[in-house]
Structure 1
């Protein structure tokens, strides 16, 4: 099939805010791949999959990633570096995991570039907020279970008086809740949701490194998901799904091809009430 490309040829002095998708190189967009192959410089996070980062020449890459409880490159430094490189006449790819405009600070970088007169282009991607649950057999919406979905950050401490996330409202809103970057604070926000009125028996799941060979899944209920996380050993990066859709995995996991890829981790806890075979 002949594909007509629109763009993908990097221009000097331009910054491209590129999402890498959830990590599987097969889910990298055609445009993103073309830019990565041809840009002068790539500033990347830690979250793009190792196969994607492994294909990039070291001499063109600058690691500006952030690790949970580890070294961090200040966002202000990243912003300044993007402007400096563009002012030098280089074509620059700012590569992020997932989609750069879904909790990826892409909006902040776009505003900074515009403020400093730097031309930029946004290259959207498959967001891990949807892709990670999907490859684990969990749809974030389902005609029988959820007609709405809320995406929230798990970095917010639910006990803060000025928290930007209204957990009480989410507890009674219905639909699906997808929490990104929420492994560490899982005990706090599942407690906040229960205190806000959500049924402790509400299904829940954690998907670590969705689409990667190291993908792992823990399932349970709002009341048991913390124990399930600890038993499986789920670590960041992971996506949390809360709502009836999380139980959908039970009916498909036995036939889910993503579960049988070579090298796929097999450890799992399925604490949602059902007799589901481990995969």
Structure 2
């Protein structure tokens, strides 16, 4: 059941399932909290209280915010953790991977562990060599740039199709149709464009400030990087020594939690079990 948390003049939509230690899951830009429709139930069954939230201007969250940066999303995550009674494990995908990093660094008492899935956490610049030699990467970057420039739901759908290489969820057609209907509402694609233009420098600057164990989950075929493993390793390298771990999901693109939820759940649960041991 959807609930709403007032943050400033806006509202953040979220839902909660399960009982146990709190896990807050935040989706990337251009999608809704429904992206965790497979992963959240698996964590709930494993004994966690799982809250999934919509980003500002996405899904059932309100429009009309002054800005849409990773730091803004981090503030929303903090507000939800405090509202639900933390601390919490924070899971952030893509854009929200950077927001989760900021949350963990700014409010270490509220975050017991950090999971970043396909995260945009470091400052980015196109890999010119990759653009020339890696067609999968070139197509992904081109589509993302087109979405930011033209605010087109058609280009976003094209990007999503490319970002799910190989296997797609069984409900793919229905999922995509619902997402398109959401994004065609007035103002929604403008928010996606604003988030896409928000550089992750604010998140990268906080990597060295986290104090909790961290897991970076990356698909081996993620089209957002010419070398997904190198990007995951780069995120971990920015953290204090010994805190970060990388898990690669073979064959997955930018949404491994939806393409291969069983593998991602297994990796997360093993990580959380180890993190709980201290």
* Range of TM-score over shorter length: 0.3 to 0.5
TM-score (norm 2): 0.33
Structure with the bigger percentage of helix: 2
TM-score, normalised to structure 1, is: 0.33
